[in-house]
Chains A and B, each alone.
Chain A
Amino acid sequence: GNSVTQMEGPVTLSEEAFLTINCTYTATGYPSLFWYVQYPGEGLQLLLKATKADDKGSNKGFEATYRKETTSFHLEKGSVQVSDSAVYFCALRGNTPLVFGKGTRLSVIA
């Protein structure tokens, strides 16, 4: 079945550091890929998405490119801020309901 694997956390970075959170997937067919973010005490918000191979999703300085050849959708940001501290979930949606990775907690320190 479909599955998502993302890097274990927690990840701790200093402000202005470069961020990469790895995400790989297994799926049949051609799923769409998503990154959701969960700020402390809140629900999940869509951060970005990509619906086909080579698409790049971007939002709030975050980017991720749908790589079919490596079945990956890594999240990147060039310069993180303290306000980016949150839990990040990679997810896919194909012919099945949305499937999530286990989440990666990011802490950014000033």
Chain B
Amino acid sequence: EAQVTQNPRYLITVTGKKLTVTCSQNMNHEYMSWYRQDPGLGLRQIYYSMNVEVTDKGDVPEGYKVSRKEKRNFPLILESPSPNQTSLYFCASSLFSGRADTQYFGPGTRLTVL
């Protein structure tokens, strides 16, 4: 089944403890992206990647890192999480970055930083 998977689905952590949220897609997509969803703010893009080893900042990149060493994986790294990073996170992928390309979303990771 074609899908985007994320792990973990739920995570509670404490301020300053490094964490990684994994994202993987099995559709051979070139483009991958991370979003965070917050009440009243909708979805905002954190980082995106056009291809392996190519990443770029989205609208809200502060406090996050990403890497794209393989086409299928795009982990999101929080080196020193803070409470304002408590949010619902989505990974997404599309075949390319063209305007007509549909993005497919993972199920989400709910992160709480205490």
Contact = CB atoms under 8 A, between A and B. Distances in A.
A100 to B, nearest CB: 4
Nearest to A98: B103
Nearest to A27: B99
A93 B95 CA distance: 14
Contacts of B40: 102
A45 B102 contact: no
Interface in B83-102: 90, 92, 97, 99-102
Contacts of B74: none
Q: Which of A34, A89, A100 has the most CB of B within 10 A?
A: A100
A45 B2 CA distance: 13
B48 A97 contact: yes
B70 to A, nearest CB: 21
Contact of B102 (A46, A97, A103): A46
Contacts of A32: 99-100
Interface stretch (B11-19, B61-69, B104-112): B104-112
B24 interface: no
A97 B33 contact: yes
B42 A100 contact: yes
Interface in A45-63: 45-46, 49, 51
A103 B42 contact: yes
Interface in A13-59: 30-32, 34, 36, 42-46, 49, 51
Given A43-B105, A44-B105, A101 B99 contact: no
A43 B106 contact: yes
A98 to B, nearest CB: 6
Contact of B43 (A46, A51, A94, A100): A100
Nearest to B9: A41
B104 A46 contact: yes
Contact of B99 (A42, A45, A89, A93): A93
